[in-house]
Structure formats: C-alpha cells, structure tokens
A = this chain, B = another copy of it.
Amino acid sequence: MSAGRRGGLADEIVAYVRGRILAGDMKPGEKVDQDAIAEALDVSRSPIREALVILGQEGLLDVTPRRGAFVASITREDVIDHYELFGLVSGRVAALAAERLSDSEISEMRLIHERFEAATGEDHSKLNNEFHRLINTAASRRTRWLLRHLERSIPAGFYAFTPGWTEQAHTGHDEIIEAITRRDADGARRAMEEHLHAAGVAAADALAERGFWEDA
C-alpha cells in the first residue's frame, strides 16, 4: 500500500478482504488475522480494525470482542435469500418507476438496454448498473440508501457476466422495461423480483464455482 496515500485507507482494505473472501481465498469460519493483513498490505492495524468493523456490519465477517473476526458462514440459502430481499425492495421501486418515470427517462432506459445487448465483457456490469440506477431514480432517498447497502453486502457486480447469465439478464431487463412502458406497476414489480431471484441463483453459482463453499 506504499506511501503517498492519506485517508480512506480502510476502504481499500475492505475491498481487499472482501475480494479475498468472495474469491474463495478465505473460507467461512476461518479466522482473519490482523497482523497477517498488516504485513501483506504494509499498513498498521488501525485502519485494518476499521475495515473489519465495516465488513462485520456488512455481514461478511462475524466479529466477536476479544476473539477476533471470522469469515461468516454464509450458506447458499443466505445468498438466495439476500437476493430475494433485494428483489423485494427493488420490486417496490420498479412499481414506483412504472408510475413515476417520465417518457424520456424510459427512452433512456431503452437506450441503455440496447447498448447492454451489443456490449461485451466488462461493459455489461457497467451498463447493468446504469440500468438499475436509472430505475432507482424513482425511489426515495432512504430506499436508495438501503439498496446501496444490500448491494454492498454481497456485491452484485462481483460475479462475472458469464455468457449464460448475460442472456438471462437481458431477458429480465426486457420484461422490466416492457412492464414499465405499459405503466404496469404490478407487472414491473413481479418482473424485477423474478430478475433478482435469477441473479441470486447466478451469484450463488458463481460463488460455488470459485470454491466458496469448499472446505479448507
């Protein structure tokens, strides 16, 4: 982590540890050694402890006073449930979007959607974010806050947009757009819930592929 950087070191450590966990590099139940991270990143334990607190709040670590931090034992069911909850909130937003989004905003959605279809590799994740962010315009401040948190806990952009999932995502987005264009609030809700359920399955599969649930 060298020198030169001041401020927000904890965020980088969060990203590092989260990455290692989601890559299946650190197994559920495994202890997170503060000194090991300190040595690996060449930082002191002060920002590390702040990072562990954040990851604890996110649910990726179990932090027990005096015992330390351990990689949380997240099951496949947890991941599926998490996306289900994500879908519950996003679905409500989609319903609002069907009622409140202006026609020009819907056109913009369509444009992003078409670019998503044509895109390749890395861009899918970015365009996916843009798509959902536009819908979330219809949500209240607090709702966007909650969505941000749910997104971080089990990062959505973390699983690759594999060929199979990209296609499925495109279909899901299509149904959402159609419902919103129809001004069909309930249809938009259902479409979003189904889309995120599928995303949950995809995320769980991606984690399984990385050996996330394999024993050490």
Contacts and interface: CB of A to CB of B under 8 A. Distances in A.
10 contacts: A6-B66, A8-B66, A46-B49, A50-B50, A50-B53, A53-B53, A77-B142, A78-B140, A88-B88, A146-B150
Contacts of A6: 66
Contacts of A46: 46, 49
A142 B80 CA distance: 9
A187 B183 CA distance: 26
Question: How many copies, total?
Answer: 2
A142 B82 contact: yes
B50 A81 contact: no
Nearest to A148: B59
A4 interface: no
Nearest to A139: B81
Interface of A is mostly: helix
A143 B58 CA distance: 13
Q: Which of under 10, 10 to 19, 20 to 34, or 35 or more describes the interface residues of A? A: 20 to 34
B54 A7 contact: no
Contact of A145 (B59, B89, B92): B59
Contacts of A10: 53
A101 interface: no
A163 interface: no
Interface string A66-96: 1000000001011001100100110010000
A57 interface: yes
Given A53-B54, A66-B6, A78 B141 contact: yes
